Amino acid sequence: MRPLALALLTLTIPLAAQSNISNALLEETIIHSGTAGQFESAQKDYCAAVVKGGAPACLIFSTATFGQSDRYFTVLPFASFIHYDQGKYTDKGLTPEEAKALSARRVPPIASNHESAIALHRDLSTLPTASNAEYPTSYFTEYRLRPGTSAAFLKAVHDFMLPAARKANLIEFEVFTTTVGESPDRILIVTRLKNFAQLDQPDPIESNMSVGQRTAWHSVAKELTQHRDTWIMRYRADLSTDPRSPAAR
């Protein structure tokens, strides 16, 4: 199974975007070792170009630690899929000559690249109370579910995890599903870390469940989950372009 290069999805859509945007294109990229300088320079220019072409923002994340290096997530929020009937952001932000030159810089460092569309479930989430720049480190948990069980899993998230996340006063608890380009049985849950020292503490969500709630949650998760992975990713303000959140640039 291909590991998720997300941490998409902090793959998270920034606070300023979440009032009117729930969809995003998630680009998961692995680059060849030793090519980070070339890739990052080109990807920074790519972000600036797509925002010039009408993208609300272009957010870049890279591995913080405890995971595969040379991994990047690029997140482009979009309002609806009709956008893709109207031409891509790069088509509007670059001339054909500029696009060709940028591609010549971006493509050689890339070992693999995968695009998918993800959707934020606002009714299952507590939206961020701080910008990506203020809290750039995010903890991503990916659940690969048994086929056809996503509705039951999301109900358990609503019943057990969401109340505990609210009780824990988490800065962020966001739930994403894949809509196109990946398995519909993939669920991504994103929280933010104030610092790595938080990893020394008990899980804040499970700590705010009763014994009965923890037992019920563990039972559902065990029954419905085929595989679970975690990542820690950092938001790259130095590479991203987000005109709606000046503090995050």
CATH number at residue 239: 3.30.70.100
| Host domain of residue 150 | 15-244
Query: How far is it between the farthest Cα atoms of the chain?
Result: 62
Report the pLDDT value the prediction gives residue 198, as an integer from 0 to 100.
Answer: 85
57 φ/ψ sector (left φ>0, alpha ψ -120 to 50, else beta): beta
Residue 182 lies in a domain: yes
Report the pLDDT value the prediction gives residue 245, as an integer from 0 to 100.
Answer: 66
Residue 202 lies in a domain: yes
Higher pLDDT, 135 or 73: 73
Residue 27 lies in a domain: yes
pLDDT at 3 over 90: no
Residue 8 lies in a domain: no
Residue 211 lies in a domain: yes
Give the separation between CA 236 and CA 137, rounded to whole angstroms.
Answer: 10
pLDDT digits (tens, 9 = 90+) for 188-242: 999 988 788 888 899 999 999 999 999 999 999 999 999 999 989 898 999 999 8
One-letter amino acid identity for 240? Answer: S
Q: How many domains does the chain have?
A: 1
pLDDT at 153 over 90: yes
With beta carbons less than 8 A apart as the criterion, state whether 118 and 151 touch: no
Residue 235 lies in a domain: yes
